[in-house]
Amino acid sequence: MAEVLQKPTVEEIVSKLNSDCPCVNVTRTETRRVYATAPRENSFQVCKYIHDNLTFEHCSTVIGVDYVDHMTVVYHLTNYYTGVMIELSVDIPADDLHIESVTPIWEGANWHERETWELFGIVFDNHPKLQRLLTPDTYEFFPFRKSYKLRGSE
Amino acid sequence: MMTDSIVPVKEMEDRMDTDKMWVIMGPQHPFSHGLWTLKVQLDGEIVTDAEPIVGYLHRGWEKETENRTYPKIIPMADRLCYAASMTYTHLYCMTVEKALGIDIPEKAKYIRIVADEVCRIQSHLMWLAAVGTDLGNLTVFLWCMREREFFLDLNVKLCGARMTTNYPRIGGVRNDTTELFDRDIIRAVDRFEKAMWDIIALIDDSSIFVSRMKDISFLTREQCANMGLTGPAMRGCGVDFDIRRDDPYDNYDQVDFEVPVLTKGDSYSRYMIRIEEMFQSCDIIRQAVKKIQALGKNAPYRIKTPSKVPAGTAFTRLEDPRGESLMYLVSDGTDKPYRLKVRSPIFTNVSTSKAMCLGCRIADVPAILAQIDMCLGETDR
């Protein structure tokens, strides 16, 4: 069992991530903010490590972004003892929109993942209930993708 | 949860062959305060499962913003939540400022604090009014609405509009505080603190109110953090976290205030937190108004900003009256956002309603879900 830090500082988070999760690439840091990227294959393990060993108890959001050639899933994670936030970005190739769900770790990610699925078509594997939430069940398209045009002005 | 039962429900159930039944509350239901549905599964009177259904008001807010220039989104951000419109506009402006990498004048920061706290009191009063009607006391509703009117008048005094204010700007605020605004706001706050005790007496001395909130719907600290419940509801369950104090934005680190936290975790403690927060907001307003006066009449309140935002991503978060709200902006270097995501606190809070209602009676469901302080504009976006 690895060491559990309840109140990690930004420097501790960076050094811990570098030593224990070599796949994570910390891109930049600010006061109480850590920005990192991770490959899709390891995203679940990285999230589990951040939750279990760095005590990030709260998942603020799961965000999908459509960059046309690929999509990105962004997690915002919060430590309630120090107020430090980690922004974890995971790139997904456009032809294989699958990523492991983090709902088993943070229950609060449940609806955010459902929303990201219905608006972008990113499939979260092992999600307990991946059904449409905001849009009607009859929708057969994903309205927030860049290929879905809004009016003529775009 | 069933300990206070007069009828021996458990024994009767064992003798009877009962079936579980789904009851659909909403979308047109007095408790829902907007358009949403709560499906509850009942075993007799006890809730055994619940499923909230939202999305009736989904208008693609995030997609709409991709078609507009940055200043045009400010009035749209007001419409996310009609009860506390200033906080969302503030959040949006803060996010764009972060992406631009600029720092706004001191005075604008304090004016935003004042505006935010006025909105917080307003929003909490609206919530208290809703609690009053949900629990069957119309006097609470009328008195809260009367008090709220004074704070709406302050909005008018500050920017000319009552609810959808369109006031913060990228790089500051639209106009300086108007003449005698500081006198009026102190008067309103002083008056409110006295009047609030009448409303508290009306609720806390009423056994109907207290018995319908006390000792029901317990949530633990771990449950709360894991489910993503934020805001006053979270602090009523023992999570000692407030973004204003622990992750300060603007000048919240320059003002002194307490963050109320209760560890009991029942519906009543979630109610108590919001009441105490209103008094703390009054303190913050007094301090911020003093700081504005100290800065003088001619201090700058707005700076010019470029219309194009450099490519990259930025996010900020703030303590909304209802919880943690966060905006994430992806910019591609043009004058329109590439993607703008809003994290609305209610969206996550309402998804926890199953955990809140489990094991309670159906008659208590409106009383429990009143503590979420539902606002559909930001939930469905």
The pLDDT tens digits of the residues spanning B221-252 come to: 888 888 888 888 888 888 888 888 888 888 88
For residue A143, the chain B residues in CB contact (below 8 A) are: 60, 63
Q: How confident is the model at residue A18 (pLDDT cuts 50, 70, 90)?
A: confident
Q: Is residue B329 part of a domain?
A: yes
Average pLDDT, stretch B268-290?
90
- Contact across the interface for B226 and A106, Cβ inside 8 Å: yes
How far B285 CA lies from chain A's nearest CA (Å)? 24
B29 Ramachandran zone, left/alpha/beta (phi>0; psi -120 to 50):
beta
pLDDT value of residue A75: 92
- Contact across the interface for B247 and A80, Cβ inside 8 Å: no
pLDDT at position B5 over 70: no
Q: Is residue B151 part of a domain?
A: yes
Average pLDDT, stretch B151-166?
87
Is B227 within 8 Å of chain A by CB? yes
Range with the largest mean pLDDT of A78-82, A139-143, B208-212: A78-82
Q: Which of B62, B63, B225 lies at the smallest CB-CB distance from A80?
A: B225
Exposed (0-12), middle (13-18) or buried (19+): which is B256, by Cβ within 10 Å?
Answer: exposed
Domain boundaries in chain A? 10-125
pLDDT at position B2 over 60: no
**Judged by CB atoms within 8 Å, which residues 36-95 of B form the interface with A?**
54-55, 58, 60, 62-64, 66-67
Average pLDDT, stretch B360-369?
85
Q: Is residue B108 part of a domain?
A: yes
Q: Is residue B357 part of a domain?
A: no
% of chain B at pLDDT higher than 90: 9
The helix (run of H) or strand (run of E) holding residue A113 is: helix A109-120
pLDDT tens-digit series, residues A19-39: 888 888 888 888 888 999 989
Q: How confident is the model at residue B3 (pLDDT cuts 50, 70, 90)?
A: low
pLDDT tens-digit series, residues B181-193: 888 999 999 999 8
Residue with tokens 């993942």: A113
Count: domains in chain B:
1
Q: Could you list the residue range(s) of the whole structural domain that residue B291 is in?
A: 58-345
Among B69, B246, B352, B353, the strongest candidate for a mutation testing the A interface, having the largest count of A CBs within 10 A, is B246
Asked whether the beta carbons of B367 and B71 are under 8 A apart, the reply is: no
pLDDT at position A154 over 80: no
Residue with tokens 């920017």: B159
pLDDT value of residue A151: 65
Residue with tokens 């995203």: A43
CATH of A10-125, one of 1.10.645.10, 2.40.50.140, 3.30.460.80, 3.50.50.60: 3.30.460.80
Q: Which of B67, B226, B317 lies at the smallest CB-CB distance from A57?
A: B226
Average pLDDT, stretch B266-280?
89
pLDDT value of residue A73: 92
pLDDT tens-digit series, residues B309-342: 888 899 998 988 888 899 999 998 888 899 899 9
pLDDT at position B43 over 80: yes
pLDDT mean across residues, chain B: 86
Q: What is the CATH number of the domain that holds B130?
A: 1.10.645.10
- Contact across the interface for B225 and A58, Cβ inside 8 Å: yes
Average pLDDT, stretch B1-15?
65
pLDDT value of residue A74: 92
pLDDT value of residue B328: 92
Task: Look at B7 and B120; give whichever has higher pLDDT.
Answer: B120
Bond from prior residue into B232 cis (ω within 30 degrees of 0): no
